[in-house]
Amino acid sequence: MIKTIEISQLRIGMYLHALPGNWTSHPFLRNRFLITAEEDIRKITDAGFSRLEIDTEKGADVHVASQDGGGENKAAPTAHGSSVTLAPVTFTETPASLSDELARAKVLISQAERLVRDLAQDVRLGKLVELDRVEPVVEGIVGSILRNPNALLVLLQLKKKDDYTFLHSVGVCALLTAFCRSVGLSAETTYHAGLGGLLHDIGKASIPDEILNKPGRLTEAEFDVIKTHPEAGHAMLARVPGLSPIALDITLRHHERCDGNGYPGALPGPEISELAKMAAIVDVYDAITSERCYHRGMTPANALAKMLEWSKVQLSDEHVRAFIRCIGIFPSGSLVRLASGRLGVVVEQNSENLLKPTVNVFFNVKSNTYIKPERIDLASSGAAEHERIMCAENPQRWKVEPHRFVEVGQMT
């Protein structure tokens, strides 16, 4: 039940349903969330709101909140019967080591993949996308990227031979979040772009599987069907209360191209928003580096080189270059060959020198054997000259499994 209350009645444990005005007029990234800390109440009070709406089905009611509301981050029931702890996302995440963040990132990827799969099923049945289910997952991804972007990006890069359909949305969400952060966009914009990234292909749920996953070339008629997905997705999401215009714009415009040859609007470059241009770049990058039933994924380095070519006409040149500065010339999760003949997986970037990331070496191409894994920071003074990167490699060529060596000393 939705109730309007005075700000003085707001307590931890209540579920905020709506603040007056739109999401840009208050200090939170979302309009609706569980009040989990006194800090949330203080922020709402400081923002000058005197009344607000709560949802008593998702959180505590006025007369019980004072008894139920305990300390910070108290868990409360959600509309789905589970118990979760939610808090507004901020840009105050504490940086985390790669090994600490990897464990969280693994869980986040499986949660997000399951969510995208469930949402596709729901919209096929004519159900509305429930923002309450999407927001905590996006918050988790944004938080992980802010703590250490390498963890999610390494794992997602190495999972690209798995199920593309749903992982692609998770990949676009994580990459777009990292991209927004790296070009200095605000917390709100980054969060809503991440949300748009996760939902951008929701319209594909309306496309028959035999067309969507057809091995081989699509006929013109089949491609015309594929081209309906941005507008179909936009129509599905436009019915979702509280969804930001940013997420809607990304959904509708991620296939527009700067030369006016995109779809659905064939918009010329100047009429495409910056975020839609960024989403297009991330979408293309994730697609061409993924293994599909009808093509082998490119190495990340080759994909970026290809995208620089396309940036002359189709993709925004300025944004492609910014994207490369964000993910590196040899992105995290790439397999690279060192001058010494060793193969390694890139696990961390060096923002000062994109040619010298940190690499976990594990294979010697000269002896064609696995070697004792070792982590090498190519920028460190201790790294010998012969340890520079010679080229990107495709794992299939050497029949190696880089995902086993993301955590040195913890091979599985």
Q: By CB under 5 A, how many residues form the interface with Fe ion? A: 1
123-182 residues in contact with Fe ion (CB under 5 A) are none
Dihedral, CA of residue 73, residue 78, residue 80 and residue 82, to nearest 10: 30
Q: Alpha-carbon distance 19 to 16, whole Å?
A: 8
Give least dist CB 276 to Fe ion, A.
Answer: 12
Task: With both helix axes pointing from N to C terminus, report the angle between 164-182 and 98-124 in degrees, rounded to the nearest 10.
Answer: 120
Give least dist CB 68 to Fe ion, A.
Answer: 43
Q: Which residue in the block uniquely carries the two structure tokens 């949300």?
A: 195
Taking the least distance from each CB to Fe ion, the nearer of 26 and 200 is 200
The answer to whether the CB of 390 falls within 8 A of the CB of 339 is: yes
| Whole-Å CA distances, 365 to 29, 119, 370 | 49, 44, 9
Q: Which of 204, 203, 181, 201 is nearest to 193 (CA)?
A: 181
Q: Is 256 a residue that touches Fe ion (CB under 5 A)? A: no
Give least dist CB 169 to Fe ion, A.
Answer: 9
| Piece of the chain touching Fe ion by CB under 5 A; list 100-108, 194-202, 216-224, 355-363 | 194-202
Give least dist CB 229 to Fe ion, A.
Answer: 6
The DSSP bridge pattern shows strands 335-338 and 2-6 to be unpaired
Give least dist CB 249 to Fe ion, A.
Answer: 14
| Piece of the chain touching Fe ion by CB under 5 A; list 88-96, 199-207, 245-253, 323-331 | 199-207
φ, ψ at 264 (rounded to 5°): -85, -15
Give me the amino acid identity at 276: A
Taking the least distance from each CB to Fe ion, the nearer of 201 and 387 is 201
Give least dist CB 76 to Fe ion, A.
Answer: 35
Taking the least distance from each CB to Fe ion, the nearer of 227 and 375 is 227
Q: Is 201 a residue that touches Fe ion (CB under 5 A)? A: yes
| Piece of the chain touching Fe ion by CB under 5 A; list 15-23, 197-205, 208-216, 390-398 | 197-205
The answer to whether the CB of 91 falls within 8 A of the CB of 47 is: no
Taking the least distance from each CB to Fe ion, the nearer of 26 and 255 is 255
Taking the least distance from each CB to Fe ion, the nearer of 132 and 201 is 201
Give least dist CB 327 to Fe ion, A.
Answer: 20
* Tokens describing residue 141: 């991804």
φ, ψ at 309 (rounded to 5°): -65, -50
Q: Tell me the residue number closest to Fe ion, measured at CB.
A: 201
The answer to whether the CB of 44 falls within 8 A of the CB of 52 is: yes
Query: Containing H/E element for 5?
Result: strand 2-6
Taking the least distance from each CB to Fe ion, the nearer of 227 and 403 is 227
Taking the least distance from each CB to Fe ion, the nearer of 201 and 249 is 201
Residues lying near Fe ion in the complex (CB under 5 A) are found at 201
